[in-house]
Structure 1
Amino acid sequence: MYQSPVNGTKRDFDGQPRIYYDGYWIKYYDPPKDSFDVRRQLIEALTRRLFNHVEHGINIPGTRLREAREAYEAETDTERKRVNGAMLAGALFNRAADIFRSLVDLQTAGVEIGPDHTLMRECGHCLIEALELGKMVRHRGGDEGIDELWGEPFKAFSMPIEAFYASRYLKIAMTMQDIDRITSAMKDTFAESRQIRNIGPRLDALAEAAKRKCEILRTDPIVFDVWPAYVVASERVCNYDPALPSIHDAKDIREAVEGTRLLREGTDLVSYLVRARVPMPKSMREYIDRCQQFKRTYIDSRRFQSSHPPEEASSA
């Protein structure tokens, strides 16, 4: 009987190293050697990555931490306080990066920095508080806060580099699984649609290209093949032109309009996942719910009407 490989198993496929996590063989990259400078670069990269994905206006410099905290503590309106909390999280995040940058400079100058150093503890405290407040922050594409992104710099700060990269592969596998779930829900939704027909092959191409983009680094030369393939696959789904039946009614038009909107929303969600490379469970659940509602409203109801003509219903 076939047994799935253990998570973390490495193998070469066609000369390409891959690592297995939760059903997916992901392209493997050797982690850099652990050092303060490597951690600083990693935390700075994760910080830039975070602010690329969250709502505007919260990238507050660490030098304004006190102002951000005072504004958050003074605010009484619930909705405004959420935004102030997001701004405070941003300031804490940047303060932690500032501290780590200074620690690297000190170490480069020959100063020994141990784990109990005051600045090390302060950096950790800032990241922990930012992680907690990060729950108030929304993704640029909706209302879901990507908690995973707020936790990654603290992991890079506190974990061995090799363990941190292993945790990233697990998140990539989870993201790939979400991509498959979303595209599968889209295929199931439109499988019997009269307006959006034969969309399955386009969705398969989108899923495959999205997962390939999800697994590679920007510095990998293969990005010049993978990124164009992903963009084209996304456009072919987004730009699908529905085909109305020759004899149609208002409900058919609504099905075409809402169906194409649903395709665009699904493609956008896949794009968020690809760029962030972390799961978005709330957004995924809500999108799949909308797919199921669309199918009940248009596909299932039409099938029911076809099997129960009006004359049969009246005679019953």
Structure 2
Amino acid sequence: MASNLKFTKELITFLGKAVIALLETLIFTFIPRPRKNVAGEIVLITGAGRGLGRLLALRFAHLGSVLVLWDVNKEGNEETCRMAREAGATRVYAYTCDCSQKEEIYRVAEQVKKEVGDVSILINNAGVVTGGDFLNCPDDLIEKSLDVNFKAHLWTYKCFLPAMIANDHGHLVCISSSAGLIGVNKLADYCASKFAAYGFAESVFIETIVQKLKGVKTTIVCPFFINTGMFEGCSTVRPFLLPILEPEYVVEKIVDAILKEKVYLYVPRFLYFAMVLKSVLPVKIALLLSDFMGVFNIMDGFVCKKKKH
């Protein structure tokens, strides 16, 4: 009897909270969510030497943030640093860091803490791609994909999350991919790394909820292929549903999601629908849909040049 009463109370509590959450979602569908102010926040961006990382740095420069730029390419990173200063950033710090090396991440992170301060917005953006049939992928490139696209997230969280918890203030941003939601032909190692990054970020997000760390936010980003040169040669057969995205558009969406403290961001919106279909359709029909959408041949024409974000 007591257990039934407890269950009833818990059910009523759940339904009440669910209704409130649903009403909140409906309200913010029509009324823009308030945006937080990131002026003065210390924003660390990995893979800042080009592509999305560079554009994110310039966007946060306009917003008055303190920038910490990491990239293995010193020349490209310093160019981003120069551009950020021209965009209005008053404090920009560029560090050469190979995100495939745990020891180097730890070393540079300590340097950042001493020279800049506690990172309050961490954007794990650095990425590499191999491309090709799995059995033909060299072992060293598979390991590099996992090290940069996934394991670097583990080590940067270890470095910067403790201060966020102590201050009950921070924002963890995981740049995953649509390839972290749906398997893609000729991208087995890349998909594995992006699925892992997504799962890791979501798990830590759940930990912050359980520990009642209301000041530590999470945003997980899953864009379709972006025209940064990383996937040069790839094409889409249904551009009206899954277009190759322009980096400026994606960065606008990412920054907007961070400022509104959204947990999940899929770009384009069709990906939300695709994930629902993947969950409910029989496997054979889901595979037919993937074939129809061009997922099986999207990598046709891709040539691996060991590109990085």
Query: For the pair shown, which has the larger CA radius of gyration, 1 or 2?
Result: 1
Report if TM-score (shorter chain) is over 0.5: no
TM-score, structure 1 as length reference: 0.25
Q: Which has the higher strand share?
A: 2
Q: Which has the higher helix share?
A: 1
